[in-house]
A and B are shown apart, each in its own frame.
Chain A
Amino acid sequence: DGGITQSPKYLFRKEGQNVTLSCEQNLNHDAMYWYRQDPGQGLRLIYYSQIVNDFQKGDIAEGYSVSREKKESFPLTVTSAQKNPTAFYLCASSQARAEAFFGQGTRLTVV
Chain B
Amino acid sequence: GESVGLHLPTLSVQEGDNSIINCAYSNSASDYFIWYKQESGKGPQFIIDIRSNMDKRQGQRVTVLLNKTVKHLSLQIAATQPGDSAVYFCAVSNNFNKFYFGSGTKLNVKP
Contacts and interface: CB of A to CB of B under 8 A. Distances in A.
A105 B98 contact: no
A48 B46 contact: no
Nearest to B6: A42
Interface residues of A, number: 28
Contacts of B96: 31, 94, 96-98
B103 A41 contact: yes
Contact of B98 (A40, A48, A101, A107): A48
A103 to B, nearest CB: 5
A95 B32 CA distance: 14
Contacts, number: 55
B89 interface: yes
B48 to A, nearest CB: 9
Interface stretch (B37-45, B57-65, B69-77): B37-45
Contact of A33 (B36, B49, B99): B99
Nearest to B34: A99
B43 A90 contact: yes
B66 to A, nearest CB: 15
Interface residues of B, number: 23
Contacts of A35: 101
A33 B44 contact: no
Nearest to B106: A40
Which residue of B89, B96, B97 has the most chain A CB atoms within 10 A of its CB atom?
B96
A63 interface: no
7 contacts: A33-B98, A40-B9, A48-B98, A50-B97, A90-B43, A97-B96, A100-B46
Interface of A: 4, 6, 31, 33, 35, 40-45, 48, 50, 58, 90, 92, 94, 96-105, 107
Given A42-B89, A45-B98, A58-B98, 11 more contacts: A35-B101, A41-B103, A42-B4, A42-B101, A42-B102, A43-B101, A94-B96, A102-B44, A102-B45, A104-B42, A105-B41
